[in-house]
Structure 1
C-alpha cells in the first residue's frame, strides 16, 4: 500500500457556522491562496438553502472569482443537500465533486436535509445519475458514521449495510464522517478496515471532527488502518451547525501535515503557501 496521502481542505466547513458574514471577495481570496498549496481537493462551498446556511449564499459568486489555472491539479467540491442544489452545482464546469451528506442517523438526516434516510438514498440515486450526465463525481459523506447523540440505532453492521446500498447506486467516493467528534481510535481501527475490505472498489476517506487533545491518536489510528485520504481545515475551524449547539471543530490541517511529515509520509504541498493561507485564515475565521 502506498503511503502517499490525499488531503481535502475544507474552508466551506470552516466558514459555514460563522454568524458574521464573510464577503464573497474575501472568501475567494482565501480559497485562491488554498489553491496554490497543492491540496488534492478543496471543499469550497455549498448549494443549499440560504435560510439554513446563510454564510454559503454566495457560493456561485465566490466560484466566479477563483483563479483556476489549467495546470492546477486541485479539484473543487461543492456540498448539496438535495437534487435542486445538485442541479445548480452541476452547471459549473469548474466543480469536480458533488458532495452529499447521507446520515446513518434518521434524526440527523431529517435535521440536515429535511428527508428520511430512505428518501436521502433516492436523492443519492438521482444525484449519481445527474453526475453521469454532467461529468461530475458524486461523493457521499456517511454522516454520524461513528454514532450519534440522538439515541438512534448505530452499529458497524448498519454502516456496512447502508454503504452497500450506496455502492449499489454506483457511488465510488465515500467519506466516513464523525460529525460530532465522538469516534475513538479503537472504533476507527475497526470500522475503517471493515468498510474498505467489504468494498475495495471505493475510495474511502475520513472526515473527522475532534478536540485538540485527541486528534493525533485518531489520525494515527486511521493511517495505521489504511486510510490515505483525510478532510482537514486550517486552524481546526468548523463543525456542522445542523448537528448540535456546540460545534466540534475539524482536525487542523497544519497538525496533520506536521504529523505526516514527522513520520516521513509523502505530501506534495507548498508549505510556504500553506503558511500564507494560515496567516490569512487567522484574520477572517478567528
Structure 2
C-alpha cells in the first residue's frame, strides 16, 4: 500500500514572512480532509532557528481531528523538542533529521553526527515510553555539496545503526535535489533488501519536470512511502541558499496512478486543498 505524507511544515518553514496561525491551521484542517496517511504539520524546534514554526503548539490546538484518518508528525531536533512534542497525545510520529553529512548535521541541529545518534536513541526511548513512533530522516542521503564523504555503503552503515536502535521508519532524503533516477532506484533496492524490518520512505526535493522519473525509480527500488507538498513548495532553509522545492504531491499522485496504484483520496477535497495552497503560498 502506498503511503503519502503531506508536508505543509516543510513547505512553510523557509518562508520569511510569518504565516498567520489561523491560516496555517485552516490549511492543515483542509489537508486532513484529503485522506493522506500522515500530515507533517509542524516542528518543535528553536524559534530562532525556524521562526515560522514557533506557533506549532497553537496550530495543533486549532486542528479538527475528530474524523481525521490522517496521522500527525512533528519534527524535533533535540530531546527537549521531543519532550515538548510528547505532551500532545494527538501527535503520532516524531521526525528527527539525521545527516550523512557532518557539515549539514552541524548546520541543521548544531550537533555532530555522534551527538545526533545519541539524540536519536534518547528520543526512541521517549517514544517507546509514550507509545509513539520515531521517523528518522537521513538528510543528504543521495549526496551533498559540502565535500563530506558519501557513498551508498555509508548510507547502509547509518541504517544499520538505526536498525540497532529499533527505528522502524527511515526516510532517505535528497535535501538539495541532486539524486538521479539510477541512484534512487539502486539505493532503495539495496536498503529495502538489506533491512526488511524497516519501512523506507522517499523525501525527495526535485525540479518539477524530474518528479515522475524519480517516483518511478523509487517504486522500482521497493519504496512505497512518499513525502510531498502540494504545488511543490518548500525546501530546507538550512541547506543551500537556493531552495529546491519538495516533490509536488499532485504530480506524485498522477505518477503513482500512471504506475497502476489506486490511491484512496478524496478528490474534491484535494482540489480544494490545491486552491487553498495558492492562497497560503501566494502563488
TM-score for both structures, normalised by structure 2: 0.98
Please show how residues 14-93 of structure 1 align to structure 2 within 5 Å: 14-69=11-66, 71-93=67-89
Residues 98 and 137 in structure 2, CA contact (< 8 A), matched pair in contact too: yes
Give, in angstroms, the shift of residue 135 of structure 1: 1.2
SS where residue 110 of structure 1 aligns?
helix
Query: Aligned-pair RMSD on alpha carbons?
Result: 0.8
Give, in angstroms, the shift of residue 170 of structure 1: 1.3
- Separation of aligned partners in 2, 1:266 and 1:195: 25
- Separation of aligned partners in 2, 1:204 and 1:162: 13
Residues 24 and 59 in structure 2, CA contact (< 8 A), matched pair in contact too: yes
- Separation of aligned partners in 2, 1:94 and 1:127: 17
Give, in angstroms, the shift of residue 263 of structure 1: 3.0
SS where residue 41 of structure 2 aligns?
strand
- Separation of aligned partners in 2, 1:221 and 1:259: 11
> Which of 270, 279, 283 is 2:279 aligned to?
283
- Separation of aligned partners in 2, 1:213 and 1:112: 28
Alignment gaps of 5+ in structure 2? none
Residues 188 and 218 in structure 2, CA contact (< 8 A), matched pair in contact too: yes
Give, in angstroms, the shift of residue 168 of structure 1: 0.6
The answer on 1:250 being equivalent to 2:243 is no
Give, in angstroms, the shift of residue 226 of structure 1: 1.4
Q: Moved runs in structure 1, 4+ residues, more than 6 A? A: none
Please show how residues 49-198 of structure 1 align to structure 2 within 5 Å: 49-69=46-66, 71-198=67-194
SS where residue 95 of structure 2 aligns?
strand
SS where residue 214 of structure 1 aligns?
helix
Alignment gaps of 5+ in structure 1? none
TM-score for both structures, normalised by structure 1: 0.97
- Separation of aligned partners in 1, 2:224 and 2:70: 16
- Cα 1:107–1:78 shift into 2, 3 Å: same
> Which of 207, 228, 232 is 1:232 aligned to?
228
**How many pairs does the alignment contain?**
282
Corresponding position of 2:270: 274
